[in-house]
Amino acid sequence: MRAGATPDDGLPLVIAAAGAGGLRLTAVNPAAAALGLRRGEPLGRVRARLSTPPHVHPADPAADAAAFARLCLWAQRYTPSVVPFGPAEACDGLYLDVTGADHLMGGADKLVADLAARLARAGIPARIAVADTPGAAFALARHGREEMACVPSDETEQILRPLPVEALRCEPAVAVALKRLGLRRIGALLDAPRPPLARRFGEALLLRLDQATGRRPEPLSPISEPVRYGAARGFLDPVGSQEIVVATARRLMAEIAPRLEADGLGARGVRLSLHRVDDVVRALDLGLSEPSRCPDHVARLLQLRLERLGSGLDAGFGFETVRLDVAATGPMPGRQAALDTGPVPPGARIAGLADALRQRFGRPVIRLSPRASHVPERADRIAPWRTESRHTEPWRVERVVLHWPDPDAGIGPRPLVLFDRGEAAEDVIALVAEGPPRRFRWRSRLHRIAHAEGPERIAPEWWRETGIPRDYYVVECESGRRLWLYRDGPNLPERPAAWFVHGLFA
C-alpha cells in the first residue's frame, strides 16, 4: 500500500532509491507498470529500455514513514488494535484485528467494503483480505487473486494451498530454495513431511506455516493509542451559573493534573465543552503562554473569559455535562516546591499575566521579533508573547535565533514608526534631480526640509521579486520633525521618480 506523492495523471511515474548496484525502482504507478516496469529493477536499465523514460521521483523514506504512521492512526477508526507490518512483511501494510469490532460496521464484509471505499477516495491503492490468522490474511492480500477477500473460518487451509511459498513471509533465499525442490505452492509444503523441512530450512519456515494455518499463535503488538487528557462531569440537575461552571472546571483540571504530571507535561491549550440540555455544545478554548497544570490558573482564566462573554454564553435551560480537554501540551518538568515561596521565575509570572489579559480583552499579548530581511517592512514581525522555553525542550530543533542588529553597527538609522506601505509625497521640489527634496506635501501639509541625510540604497530581495531599489533619506523639517523618505528608483526624464514617506523618527 502506498500513496503517490503526485496525483496520478496517467503518466508513468516511478520512485527510485539507492539499492544494490545503483538506483533501483522502489515503486511504480499503474501507467509505469503497464510499460512493464517492476519494483527492484535498476533505473539505468529502465532508462536504456524505454524510448521515453518515465518521470522519476527520489524516494523519501521519512515522509513515507510519517504518512504510514498517519494511516495507522486513521485505521484505528475500525478497531483499537492496529499493527503495522514488520520487517518480515516489508513494512508496507497493516493488520487490523477486527475480532469483536466488525459487528460495529455490520459485519466483516461491510467493514472491508467501507475500508476499501475510503482508501480509494483517498487515492490509496490497497489490497485487503480478512482471514482467521494474520499469516493467512497477509498471504491472501499479497498473492491472492482478488483485491478484496473474505475467508470463512474453516477454509483457511484450502485458500492457502494454491498460493506460492513467498506468501509465507519467509526469507527470499528460502523461497528460492523451496522452488528448486519443486515445492512451489503452500499446499505442497503442507503435504510434505515436516522433519526434513525443519532440518533443511530451520524452525522459522515451519513457524510461519503453522502461524498461517492457525496451529500456532502469532502475537501482534498494536500501536499505542495517542494519549488524551480529559475529564467530564455530568449533572443530574442542569447547571447554569458561572460559579458552578468555573468550580467544575477547576475540579476537572485537578483530576487531569496528576496524569499530566506523570507524563511530565503541562497544558498549553485547554478546551471546555459545555453540553446544554437541548444538545447544543458551547466550546471555549483557552490558550496558555506557558505549559501549566495549575487548576487555579485555568479556573481564573476561565472566569475572566466567562466574564467577558457575559450573556454571550447562553446557558439556556442549563448545562448537563461539563467537559475539559487538554488540546495542546508542552513539556513541563517537575519543579521542586520550596518551603518558602521563593523567587518564582519572572517569566512564569508574566505568562500568567499575559494569559489573563488575553482572556479578559480577547487579544493576545504580542511582542516584536526580528526577521532575516533587509527590506524595512519585512525586517520585524509581530509574534505572540511566550516565555523562553528553549531550555525546557532540549530535544526540539530550534530555528536559528535571530538577534536585533546593533543600531550603531553599520546599518542606517531606522524610524520609530514604520508605515506598512510608503505614503505618497506630492509636489516634491528638489534642487538636483538625484538629490533629496527641498520641500514636499504629505498628509495635506507642506514640509520644508532643513536638512537631509542619505541616500541609503535598499534593494528588494532578489530571491523574492524583481523591483526597483529605493533610495532612503532621513529628512528633517524646519519644525524639527524627522521623516524617513524614499525615492522609488532613479529620477529619469522619461520616468520621474515618485517619493514616499515610509516612517517617522522619534
Partner 1 sequence: MKPSRDEPEERPPSPAERIAALRVRLDAERRPDVGGVLPFGVADLDVRLPGGGLGLGLLHEIAPEGAGDEASALGFVLALVARHLARAAGDALLVVAPGHPIPYGHGLVGLGLDPGRLLLLEAEADAAVFGALEDTLRAGQLAAVAGLVADGLPLKPGRRLQLAAGSFGTAPPLLLILRPFRAALPNGAATRWRIAAGGAARDRFGCTLRPRWRARLDRCRNGRPGDWLLEWDHAAHRFDLPDGLARRAPDACGGYAG
Radius of gyration from C-alpha coordinates of the chain: 34
Least distance to partner 1, CB of residue 451, Å? 7
From the CB of 459, what's the least distance to partner 1, in Å?
17
Stretch that binds partner 1, among 35-43, 154-162, 342-350, 426-434 (CB under 8 A): 342-350
Listing DSSP states for 51-71 in one string gives SSPPEEEE--HHHHHHHHHHH
Least distance from partner 1 to the Cβ atom of residue 392, Å: 18
Q: Which is nearer to partner 1, 360 or 439 (CB)?
A: 360
To which residue does cell 488524551 refer?
228
CB-CB contact of 140 with 159 (8 Å) = yes
Q: What is the DSSP letter of 215?
A: S
Q: Which is nearer to partner 1, 194 or 481 (CB)?
A: 481
Task: Give the residues across from 417 on adjacent strands.
Answer: 504
Shortest CB 266 distance to partner 1, Å: 20
Q: CA angle, 110 as apex, 107 and 116 as ends, to 5°?
A: 140
Does position 277 interact with partner 1 (CB under 8 A)? The reply is no
CB of 342 to partner 1, least distance (A): 16
Cell of 256: 487531569
Question: Interacting stretch for partner 1, rule CB under 8 A, among 42-50, 72-80, 202-210, 356-364?
Answer: 356-364
CA distance 159 to 186: 10
Task: Determine the angle formed by the axes of helices 295-309 and 346-361, rounding to 10 degrees.
Answer: 20
The residue (of 161 and 386) whose beta carbon lies closer to partner 1 is: 386
Q: How far is the CB of 366 from partner 1 (least distance, A)?
A: 5
Q: Write out the DSSP string of 294-342.
A: -HHHHHHHHHHHHHHHGGGS--TT-EEEEEEEEEEEEE----PPPSS--
User: What residues between 445 and 484 interact with partner 1 by CB under 8 A?
Assistant: 445, 450-451, 453, 474, 476, 478-482
Closest to partner 1 by CB, 417 or 433: 417
Give the per-residue contact string, 370-409, with partner 1 (x = CB under 8 A; - = no): x-----x--xx-x--x------------------xxxxx-
User: What three-state secondary structure class fits 25?
Assistant: strand
> What letter represents residue 228's amino acid?
R
List 356, 375, 458, 498, residue binding partner 1 (CB under 8 A): 356
Alpha carbons 304 and 362: distance in angstroms, whole number = 10
Nearer to partner 1, 168 or 354 (CB): 354
Q: Is 51 in the site for partner 1 (CB under 8 A)?
A: no
Residue 446, phi-psi category: left (phi > 0), alpha (psi -120 to 50), beta (remainder): beta
Residue 365 touches partner 1, criterion: CB under 8 A: yes
Which amino acid belongs to residue 13?
L
Residue 342 contacts partner 1 per CB under 8 A: no
Q: Binding to partner 1 (CB under 8 A): which residues in 115-174?
A: none
- Contact status: 295 vs partner 1 (CB under 8 A): no
Return the exposure string of 35-56: e unless at least 16 CB atoms fall within 10 Å of the residue's CB, then b: eebeeebbbeebeeeeeeebeb
Q: How far apart are CA 31 and CA 4, in angstroms?
A: 13
Residues 187-216 that bind partner 1 (CB under 8 A): none
Q: Which stretch binds partner 1 (CB under 8 A): 205-213, 333-341, 355-363, 429-437?
A: 355-363
Among 45, 70, 335, 367, binds partner 1 (CB under 8 A): 367
Q: Which of 493, 491, 453, 459 is nearest to 473 (CA)?
A: 453
Give residues in contact with partner 1 (CB under 8 A).
346, 349-350, 352-354, 356-357, 360-363, 365-370, 376, 379-380, 382, 385, 404-408, 413-418, 445, 450-451, 453, 474, 476, 478-482, 503-506
